[in-house]
Amino acid sequence: MNGTSTSRIVRLFESAASALEADAGGPVHLVRLIGPRTSFVAGRVPDEMPFVASVRVILNEQWALLFYPAPGHSIDREKVKAMFKDLYTLS
Amino acid sequence: MQVDHTAPASWVNTRIKQDEVFKYMDHGRDFIPDDEIEAKIRVDEGKEPDPQQVRAILAKSMAIKDLTTDEVAVLIRVNDKAMLEEMRQTAFNVKQKVYDNRIVTFAPFYLGNYCVNRCSYCGFNHDNDTCKRKVLNDEEIRHEVEVLAGKIGHKRLIVVYGEHPKNDVDYIVESLKTIYSVKTKTRNGTNSIRRVNVNAPPFSIADLKRINEAGIGTYQVFQETYHKKTYARMHPVNTIKGNYNWRLYCMHRAMEAGIDDVGIGALFGLYDWRFELMALVYHTQELEKRLGIGAHTVSFPRLQPALNSIITPDWPYLVSDEDFKKIMMIIRLAVPYTGMIVTAREKAEIRNEAVMMGVTQMDASSRIEIGGYSDVVTAQKENKQQFILGDTRSLDALIRDLAAMGHVTSFCTAGYRCGRTGKCIMDLLRSGTEGKFCKLNAVLTFQEWLDDFASDDTKRLSQPLIDREINEIKQKNPQALDIFINYYERVKKGERDLYL
């Protein structure tokens, strides 16, 4: 994974972030999956993070999104994956 | 007969990539201005600062704001006992605000003591012929981890490597995979090592990417001494470690390689502790300014005797207990959000005091000889260890002592698993939110450990603490209560590795 690919993934995420947050009712983070480690890459970090079990949508073996949904909100995983379908050509 | 452990010149000569130093420098200048630091610590030297000025600085720390180096210099000058106690109390309160009443525990795990360097103060010095050299193979690593995770109950390690082809990047990557792969049964559940922090030499960006891809926690490299003349004296110029700036800029390279949790430190006692303390602050500020993320942890080991070291009892910069306590308080006040590690180099009495000064991480049941955890001989072996331990308390004993002081022992690795790393966790620590996660995960992992490993005495002493913590969660963090209770009940029934 080179720097160019990472920048494009971050840009893709940032362009979708508002819509993702609106659906989830809470923060959404782009993370890198590195073995047992999940590393924060991008996303809004509010002063009060919700105390909910995060919902992980894996985009590919290196990238995922972490959602912190508000009560009453659910995550449409297939819709999310479709938004990031271009990701598969960037890995 | 000692085995020749000299590394080939072809390996040594290609380690340092000068372009990976110069690219971060400011017109050829590094970020440790020796003269400026010396000037700051000499301003009004010996003169007690104005209490109002000190209290204003303490208030700034309490607001979880980084101190300037001028403010740190003021705190260094404080010697008045009453004001020192105010500083101590504030340092403790800052830590409570950011991290709550938890102490994270871990174990040091030395995998290899081959080293090409000739550091004057170190027992692993290449020229130390009495040091028994060893690097653990895969099976030996597994045996060690089975003891660490299966018998003692650790879930976090700091693995330590010398600088040598025998424990180079390939070895580091493979050893990390081995460590993470070991699963053990416990009294009521299972256990494994969930976070491996790495204390290793500085590497190139390419090598750091490989280490990062192995899933490390924090990458930790200590500058040893930031004072350039002392550095040159301690580290011969014809060694890899003799290159000051290669070491100084390794965290810049690490972050460029994608490692977002880095640990810095200095070996206090090589030079004037006031200089080193200031330089540590300069270092974390540089990382924050240039890369957007300060140090995840700061370590401050104090020079202790080592086999065949040049440091004698009359060495002029050895740090007294009182000055060591000042160092801890001031680091906490200067960098309110950073993790602070006090290791078992220090005596138990000092470490207990350190808890009340704002440290956040302590090791226990520590063995620092290579292969020491599965070794049946319990005495420390000076010719296999880098230094001598001051605190030999077992993990069970440390946990009991911390519980008596009202502190939960945490084995939390949630941030690392949940994507709360790097800039994210720094922001959450500053805002006070991460401390709430700290409490939840501390109680969950503490309960796991009590159920799987604790002696009857420790269990009995710890239960009232757990009850108080749960009550506090009910009162101060009610929005987390439902999910916390759900996870807590599941842990009590034997489920493991639940985190928020």
What pLDDT, on a 0 to 100 scale, did the predictor assign at position A8? Answer: 86
Residue B92 has which token pair?
A: 């403790």
Structure pTM? 0.94
| Yes or no, beta carbons of A37 and B424 under 8 Å apart | no
CA distances from B156 to A76, B145, B153, B173, B293 (A): 35, 11, 9, 17, 23
Determine contact, residues A39/B260, Cβ cutoff 8 Å: yes
Cross-chain residue pair B483–A51, CB shorter than 8 Å: yes
For B378-433, what is each residue's pLDDT tens digit? Answer: 556 555 566 678 999 999 999 999 999 999 999 999 999 999 999 999 999 999 88
Residues 6+ apart with CB under 8 A from B439: B100, B101, B102, B408, B469, B472, B473, B477
How many domains does chain A fold into?
Answer: 1
B417, A47: Cβ pair inside 8 Å?
A: no
> Last residue of some domain: B426, B454, B476?
B426
Rounded-to-integer distance, Cα B177 and Cα B174, Å? 5
* Claim to verify: residue B322 and residue B468 sit in the same structural domain: no
**Band (A90; pLDDT cuts 50, 70, 90):** very low
Instruction: Identify whether B76 is part of a domain.
Output: no
Instruction: Write down the pLDDT at residue B388.
Output: 75
- State whether B354 and B464 are in the same domain: no
**In angstroms, what is the C-alpha Rg of chain B?**
22
Out of A38, A47, A51, the one facing B500 most closely (by C-beta) is A51
CB within 8 Å of B106: residues ≥ 6 apart? B154, B156, B157, B158, B197, B361, B363
Q: Which helix (H) or strand (E) holds B329?
A: helix B321-334
> What is the domain range of residue B441?
433-492
Percent of chain B with pLDDT over 70: 96
User: Which residue among A29, A34, A50 sits closest to B212, beta carbon to beta carbon?
Assistant: A34
Amino acid at site B74: V
Same domain, B231 and B267: yes
* Mean pLDDT value of segment A1-6: 54
Burial of B467 from C-beta contacts in 10 A (0-12 / 13-18 / 19+)? exposed
Domain co-membership, B119 together with B98? yes
| Same domain assignment for residues B440 and B304 | no
pLDDT averaged over every residue in chain A: 85
Average pLDDT across chain B, whole number: 93
CA–CA separation, B363 and B341 (whole Å):
9
The helix, strand and coil proportions of chain B, stated in percent and rounded to the nearest 5, come to 50, 10, 40
Beta partners for residue B341, in sequence order: B299, B361
B467: part of which helix (H) or strand (E)? helix B456-476
| Rounded distance between C-alpha atoms, residue B442 and residue B466, angstroms | 10
**How far, rounded to the nearest angstrom, does the alpha carbon of residue B6 sit from its chain's CA centroid?**
29
Task: Report the domain count for chain B.
Answer: 2
Distance separating alpha carbons of residues B300 and B343, to the nearest angstrom: 9
Within this chain, do residues B345 and B466 fall inside the same structural domain, yes or no? no
Final residue belonging to a domain, choices B426, B442, B471: B426
Residue A23's domain comprises 3-89
Q: What is the mean pLDDT of residues B211-238?
A: 96
Q: How far is A46 from chain B (nearest CA, A)?
A: 8
Contact state of A49 with B258 under an 8 Å Cβ cutoff:
no
Q: What is the pLDDT of residue B151?
A: 96
Ramachandran sector of residue B370 (left: φ over 0; alpha: ψ -120 to 50; beta: rest): beta
Helix, strand, coil percentages, rounded to 5, for chain A: 35, 25, 35
Domain final position from B426, B452, B483: B426
Among B210, B212, B218, B420, most A C-beta atoms within 10 A, so best to mutate, is: B420
Q: What 3-state DSSP class applies to A63? A: strand
Please count the other Cβ atoms lying within 10 Å of the Cβ belonging to residue B366: 24
CA–CA dist B265, B341 (Å, integer): 10
Judge whether residue B377 has pLDDT over 60: no
Nearest to B395 by CA among B413, B410, B377: B410
Residues B403, B367, single domain; the answer is yes
Whether B487 and B371 share a structural domain: no
Residue B1 has pLDDT above 50, yes or no: no
Residue of A38, A43, A51 with shortest CB distance to B417 = A38
| DSSP-based three-state secondary structure for B85 | helix
- Two structure tokens written together for B446: 């503490």
Q: Are residues B279 and B372 in the same domain?
A: yes
| Tens of pLDDT, residues B133-147 | 999 999 999 999 999
Give residue B500's Cα distance to chain centre.
23
Question: Which CATH number goes with the domain that contains B274?
Answer: 3.20.20.70
Which pLDDT does position B124 carry in this prediction? 87
Taking the C-alpha atoms of residue B196 and residue B193, their distance in angstroms, rounded to an integer, is 7
The answer to whether position B498 is within a domain reads no
Close Cβ partners of B302 (under 8 Å, ≥ 6 residues apart): B267, B268, B269, B319, B324, B345, B346
Chain A residue numbers touching B215 (CB-CB < 8 A): 34-37
Q: What integer pLDDT is reported at residue A88 of this predicted model?
A: 53
The answer on B319 and B245 residing in a single domain is: yes
* Best residue of B197, B421, B443, B476 to probe chain A, by most A CBs closer than 10 Å: B421
Least CB–CB distance from A34: residue in B213, B440, B477:
B213
Residues B227 and B346 in one domain: yes
Q: Show residues of chain B in contact with A51, CB under 8 Å.
A: 436-437, 440, 477, 479-480, 483-484, 500
How much is the ipTM here? 0.88
Given a contact cutoff of 8 angstroms between Cβ atoms, the answer to whether B445 and B315 are in contact is: no
Alpha-carbon dihedral B11, B14, B20, B25, rounded to 10 degrees:
100
The verdict on B288 and B414 lying in the same domain is: yes
Q: What are phi and psi of B315, to 5 degrees?
A: -60, 130
